[in-house]
Structure 1
Amino acid sequence: MIWQKRALLALHKALEEFEHNENWVFAIEQAKYHNRWFEEAQVHQSLMQWRESLSPEKIDNWLHNYELPEDLGSQRLGIIMAGNVPLVGFHDVIVGVITGFQVFAKTSSEDTILPKLWLSEAAKIDSIWSERVEVVEQLRNLDVAIATGSNNSAKYFSSFFKSIPHLIRNNRNSVAVLTGQETQEDFIALGHDVFDYFGLGCRNVTHLMLPEGYDFTPLFQCWDMHFDWIRNHNKYANNYEYHRALLLMNLDPHIDTGYLIVKERPELYAPVGMLNYSFYDSVDGVVETLIQWGDSLQCKVSHLPISNAMTFGSTQCTQLYDFADGLDTLQWLIELRKS
């Protein structure tokens, strides 16, 4: 565990004072021009969350739960990273390195600048991040693969990697279940679950489950004060205007806040600029719907006693133990190292 902790501390050290590090400042600016969804505030939010989750105490608490390999292996792990949120695929790189794999990472075309810089900065502190990770354009001769993409690309990945152990992730979304007793603080926190990263992440809430007769007024009044800035982002506004125009042309009933289209629909998924809602009459009915959504569901947010429900505002506050899709990739890779 000694070398693993040293490696993780190097990642943490590489993020210390990133706000004033000229390499990071330049990379954040370049990332924004490369991907207009990556505004400085969103990138800062991601980097600060990574820095917080990689504190020495949290590293110790995380690693303590595993029997990590003592040696570095020769097995080759290929990773296809997502790019919808800044550095969203970096957790796979981390678990690959600390389990002793030689990691070959294919970054998303939407997020290539930030992962490369983080690896470069961390390698100045611990060379493992340059010696055991290679950013590549093509993945060849792999022993294990982890790939993240859309529902369509997931089918291709499953076929492409069928001869080796693989983990394929596809589209997921998140839900919030409200009771009607939420406070202003809850509304603000829920707004972050909905609007952070412009709603592009699988952990963003895209559906509200509401008690019958729910009054939207307090919620929207709160969001008007705290989140209407989002209408000024060009790409977000384009999505909002597009879906608004379709609904108006089709005379399709909906609620328009001026920056968000809110529509009664049973689907969990809602595109950027939209939020679905449905009504429930019992907690048992809520649970039944959540079970039906199954593998399409990433996070559940509620004050109700629902299994694995999170508090409002916490969906984007990920920690090292928050594994995508609920699968412990660290333990999975440890077992593969033994085989």
Structure 2
Amino acid sequence: MTLTETKNAFVELGKFLSQFSLDNNTKNEAVLYNDEFYDDFISLIALSQSHNRWFIKEQVHHAVQSWAEALTEENLNKWLDRYTIEYKEPKTVGLILAGNIPLVGFHDFISVILTGNKALVKTSSNDKHLLPFLAKYLIAVNNELANRIEFTDGKLENFDAVIATGSNNTARYFEYYFKDKPAIIRKNRNSTAILTGDESKEDLVALGEDIFRYFGLGCRNVSKLYVPKDYDFKNFFEAIYEYGDIIHYEKYANNYDYNKAVFLMSNFKLLDNEFLTLKEDTSYSSPISSLFYEFYDDLEVLKEKLKAEHEQLQCVVSNGLTKDSIAFGQTQKPALWDYADNVDTISFLSKI
């Protein structure tokens, strides 16, 4: 099987995924294997919240559409043409996936397959249905992929390298357990935004997408704001008001009530709009339904601080204030070449 054939399989998957949107599922008769997969995928999306109560249809559809937009021939070529990928004897790469947002481990999965290797996948119990379904579709498109995809519920065995994602605590276990294997070990990271007070309403509305998409559960979700001294949060709160329906989701509302009560019992000063609390805090990692903020005096000093602490950060959002900063509203729309933790997965996999 060649790289071109593998890419073509993912292009077909992209076409399949493009049929599913929150507003209107539209069946395209030209898409391969629709008779076998189309209705079942609609059912799987509908059932996702019963498997994981955070996976409401809106969030699953967003993840599906993001991958539909990414998996085009143009994007795959733009991503992979910078590498020299040679299909040799495939190595088995163990994948230990997170389950905080739908299909969060899919990039690692496609990276392994596209580099000609075999994926030995251990899914999270929180997201154990979507990826196996998409793998079945890929195998239907090209049956040779059946030899390069395996899922396991047990202990990873007989692998040559590993990519494992978890918390800072599990990362210590991973580092010990996989110390004799080539490995990428991912830990907790958070994202932050820098505001100056000159942002437009459109900027701040888009920032709400970075905060609330997937209920803030992803490492690419903004969990902290840096604002100048005497910053007036009035415009921020007005802009994010349109996200207020999030409080009607039970799990989010429960977190809002609990975390707000904890903060208040600890006599912390809060800003609150009845669906999001803001707390002044030096930490990057805020609880669900809350956002931390910190004042800065000098933007250049702040940029040096963020540069020094880059290993704690996934994204920095701003209007171009830092090198490689991400535009408002774009954190949960990464391109194929936007690597988690800035670790080039394709380069790693090409060298094992």
What band does the TM-score fall into relative to the shorter chain? over 0.9
Cα deviation 1:168-199 (Å, max 9, x = unaligned): 00110000001101111101110000000000
Is residue 147 of structure 2 the alignment partner of residue 131 of structure 1?
yes
Q: In 2, Cα distance between the equivalents of 1:81 and 1:24?
A: 21
1:292-316 CA distances to partner (integer Å, 9 max, x unpaired)?
A: 4231100000114311111101100
What's 1:65 paired with?
Answer: 82
After TM superposition, the structure 1 = structure 2 runs for residues 318-329 of structure 1, keeping only pairs within 5 Å, are 318-329=334-345
Over 3 Å counting, the alpha-carbon distance change for 1:16 and 1:252 in structure 2 is closer
Q: Which amino acid aligns with 1:322?
A: D
Bigger mean CA deviation after superposition, 41-50 or 11-20? 11-20
Q: Find the aligned partners of 2:12 and 2:152 in 1 and give their Cα distance.
A: 22
Contact 1:268–1:293 under 8 Å retained in 2:
no
Within the alignment, does 1:150 sit opposite 2:167 as a pair?
yes
1:90 corresponding residue in structure 2? 106
- The aligned residue for residue 62 of structure 2 is 45
5+ residue gaps in structure 1? none
Quick one: which of 43, 46, 65 aligns to 1:26?
A: 43
- Closer, same or farther: CA 274–175 of 1 in aligned 2, 3 Å: same
Does residue 103 (structure 1) correspond to residue 105 (structure 2)? The answer is no
Aligned-partner Cα distance in 2 for 1:70–1:101 = 8
Inter-partner Cα distance in structure 1 for 2:92 and 2:87:
17
- With normalisation by structure 2, the TM-score equals 0.92
How far apart are 1:7 and its partner, in Å? 2.9
1:307 maps onto 2:307 in alignment: no
Output the CA distance in 1 between the equivalents of 2:132 and 2:106: 10
In the aligned structure 2, how far is the partner of 1:2 from the partner of 1:74?
A: 16
User: Which residue of the other structure, out of 1, 14, 17, is the alignment partner of 2:19?
Assistant: 17
* Cα offsets for 1:27-68 (capped at 9, x unmatched): 112211010100000000000000001112111111211111
1:334 alignment counterpart: 350
Structure 2 alignment gaps of length 5 or more: 27-37
Residue 4, structure 1, aligned to residue 6, structure 2 = yes
CA contact (8 A) 2:192 2:316 kept: yes
- Cα gap change, 1:320/1:238 in structure 2, threshold over 3 Å: closer, same or farther? same
Inter-partner Cα distance in structure 1 for 2:56 and 2:244 = 16
- The secondary structure found in structure 1 opposite 2:226 is strand
Quote the Cα distance in structure 2 between the aligned partners of 1:70 and 1:308: 32
Question: Match for 2:199 among 148, 164, 182?
Answer: 182
The answer for the alignment partner of 1:162 in structure 2 is: 179
Residue pair 1:177, 1:300 contacting (<8 A) in 2 also: yes
SS at match of 2:223: strand
Q: What residue number does 1:227 align with? A: 243
Amino acid at match of 1:2: T
Which of residues 217, 223, 231 is equivalent to 1:200?
Answer: 217
Name the structure 1 match of 2:266. 250
**Does 1:122 find its partner at 2:124?**
no
Hey, what's the Cα distance between the residues in 2 that align with 1:222 and 1:102? 46
Distance 2:294 2:247 in 1: 24
The 3-state SS of whatever aligns with 1:242 is helix
Counterparts in 2 of 1:218 and 1:305: CA distance versus 1, 3 Å: closer
Question: How many residues of Structure 1 are paired with residues of Structure 2 in the alignment?
Answer: 334
**2:287 is equivalent to residue 271 of structure 1:** yes
Counterpart of 1:187 in structure 2: which amino acid?
L
Q: Which has the higher contact order (CA 8 A, sep 6+)?
A: 1
**1:313 counterpart letter in structure 2:** G
> Are 1:214 and 2:216 matched, yes or no?
no
> Alignment partner of 1:28: what SS?
helix
Instruction: Identify if the C-alpha distance between structure 1 residues 105 and 282 changes in structure 2 by more than 3 Å, giving closer, same or farther.
Output: same
Identity across the alignment (%): 40
In structure 1, what is the equivalent of residue 31 of structure 2?
none
State whether residues 76 and 142 of structure 1, in contact with CA within 8 Å, keep that contact through their aligned partners in structure 2.
yes
Between the aligned partners of 1:13 and 1:126, the Cα distance in structure 2 is 15
